Amino acid sequence: MSKKIYDVAILGAGPAGLAAGIYTGRANLKTLIIEQGLDGGQIAQTSSLENYPGQMPEGESGTALIERFSKQAELFGAERAQDSVLEVDLVSNPKLIKGLMGEYQARSVIIATGASPRKGGFVNEDNFIGGGVSYCATCDGNFFRDSDVYVIGGGEAAVEEAMYLAKLARKVTIIHRRDRLRAVESVQDRARKVENLSVIYNSVVEEVNGDEILEEIKLRNVVNDEITTIKKNPADNLMGLFVFVGLNPNTGLYEGQVELEAGYVLADEDMKTNLDGVFAAGDLRKKNFRQVITAAADGAIAANSVRNYLARLDGTEYV
């Protein structure tokens, strides 16, 4: 284990963790940000972002925006560890973090490990992940050029990603379980103008089938229980089914230590959890609105709370 004790360890380099790192770095706190993959978390999966204040007004990709977050955090001195956190002791002092590559100690922790896409829950889903079923349009959309693509969901992520896919695919069909979409009106207005994009309402995917790759989607109409089978166009190599039906918080690591509700971390308006010196930020937190701007705001607030917490411990509090 490294002997170094950081002032704060930030777990996750999505918008919440990086924003926290900018603020703790700028406050001259010895900061370590631990990220298991590429920076950006969920937002790195989207090719088109248009609602983060101050971003390129004509729209830009999530990765382009996040690149600037990362640079800014590093500019203010945040250190980085490329590691997957496997275990934490958030009660001890200093806090202990065990990763695949090493162990770390910090006087305080900001947990910002975000959330992961929820599965669709239909029969045979797992058998076709990577063979037609996907949870990331930016990552996999290109495989479905000029093919038929189906998108499950009705929220903003689903409709935005369907519009992105419509630029690549021959035809995109959103499958939504309700009789209207949930995405904000302006997004729906844009979607209505996309010629090769349509919606099947009141329907859920029950089952998918195929010989190694996805070849058939069985839909159930939730009003009359009628089953419809959609088949892959024989002239195409692939058909796609993209799932955007919400999130599961990445909080398993903290179970039994940090107070959770339905898997989400309970934190107050200063992002304090039930544990001394442990703060939470971003999509893993119980809250109503999960976006880049709210994740970044959580990160900034958590960082400020860390600063106050350490100043109190050190007796350097500004009064």
Ligand X SMILES: Cc1cc2nc3c(=O)[nH]c(=O)nc-3n(C[C@H](O)[C@H](O)[C@H](O)COP(=O)(O)OP(=O)(O)OC[C@H]3O[C@@H](n4cnc5c(N)ncnc54)[C@H](O)[C@@H]3O)c2cc1C
DSSP state of 20: H
108 belongs to the binding site for ligand X (CB under 6 A): no
Which of 10, 292, 301, 310 lies at the binding interface for ligand X (CB under 6 A)?
292
Which of 24, 161, 169, 214 lies at the binding interface for ligand X (CB under 6 A)?
161
148 belongs to the binding site for ligand X (CB under 6 A): no
Name 298's Cβ contacts closer than 8 Å, sequence gap at least 6: 16, 19, 112, 271, 280, 281, 282, 285
Helix (H), strand (E) at residue 105: strand 103-111
In angstroms, give the least distance from the CB of 292 to ligand X.
Answer: 4
Which of 8, 10, 13, 165 lies at the binding interface for ligand X (CB under 6 A)?
13
Positions in 54-73 near ligand X (CB under 6 A):
none
Q: Report the alpha-carbon distance of residue 111 to residue 253 in Å, rounded.
A: 10
Residue from 49, 86, 85, 90 nearest 68 by CA:
49
In angstroms, give the least distance from the CB of 16 to ligand X.
Answer: 3
Taking the least distance from each CB to ligand X, the nearer of 96 and 295 is: 295
Taking the least distance from each CB to ligand X, the nearer of 75 and 139 is: 139
Q: Report the alpha-carbon distance of residue 204 to residue 176 in Å, rounded.
A: 7
Taking the least distance from each CB to ligand X, the nearer of 46 and 173 is: 46
Size of the site for ligand X (CB under 6 A): 36
114 belongs to the binding site for ligand X (CB under 6 A): yes
25 belongs to the binding site for ligand X (CB under 6 A): no
236 tagged catalytic: no
Q: Report the alpha-carbon distance of residue 151 to residue 177 in Å, rounded.
A: 12
Catalytic-labelled residue, pool 7, 83, 140, 298: 140
Q: Report the alpha-carbon distance of residue 204 to residue 38 in Å, rounded.
A: 33
Which of 8, 16, 175, 183 lies at the binding interface for ligand X (CB under 6 A)?
16
Catalytic-labelled residue, pool 139, 179, 189, 276: 139
Give the x/- contact pattern for ligand X in 247-286, rule: CB under 6 A: ---x--x----------------------------xx---
Q: Report the alpha-carbon distance of residue 47 to residue 61 in Å, rounded.
A: 4
140 tagged catalytic: yes
Residue from 140, 162, 116, 159 nearest 214 by CA:
140
Q: Report the alpha-carbon distance of residue 109 to residue 90 in Å, rounded.
A: 8
CA 4 to each of CA 104, 107, 210, 282, 306: distance values in angstroms, whole numbers, following the listed order:
8, 11, 53, 27, 18
Residue from 7, 5, 62 nearest 39 by CA:
62
84 belongs to the binding site for ligand X (CB under 6 A): yes
Taking the least distance from each CB to ligand X, the nearer of 109 and 215 is: 109
221 belongs to the binding site for ligand X (CB under 6 A): no
Cβ pair 318, 311 in contact under 8 A: yes
Cβ pair 81, 34 in contact under 8 A: yes
Phi then psi dihedrals of residue 163, to 5 deg: -65, -40
Task: Determine how many CB atoms are found less than 10 A away from the CB of residue 166.
Answer: 21
Which of 26, 27, 30, 51 lies at the binding interface for ligand X (CB under 6 A)?
51
Which of 6, 9, 10, 14 lies at the binding interface for ligand X (CB under 6 A)?
14
298 tagged catalytic: no
45 belongs to the binding site for ligand X (CB under 6 A): yes
Taking the least distance from each CB to ligand X, the nearer of 22 and 49 is: 49
Mind telling me the catalytic residues?
Answer: 136, 139-140
User: Which parts of this chain interact with ligand X (CB under 6 A)?
Assistant: 11-17, 34-37, 41-43, 45-46, 49, 51-52, 84-85, 112-115, 157, 161, 250, 253, 282-283, 290-293, 295
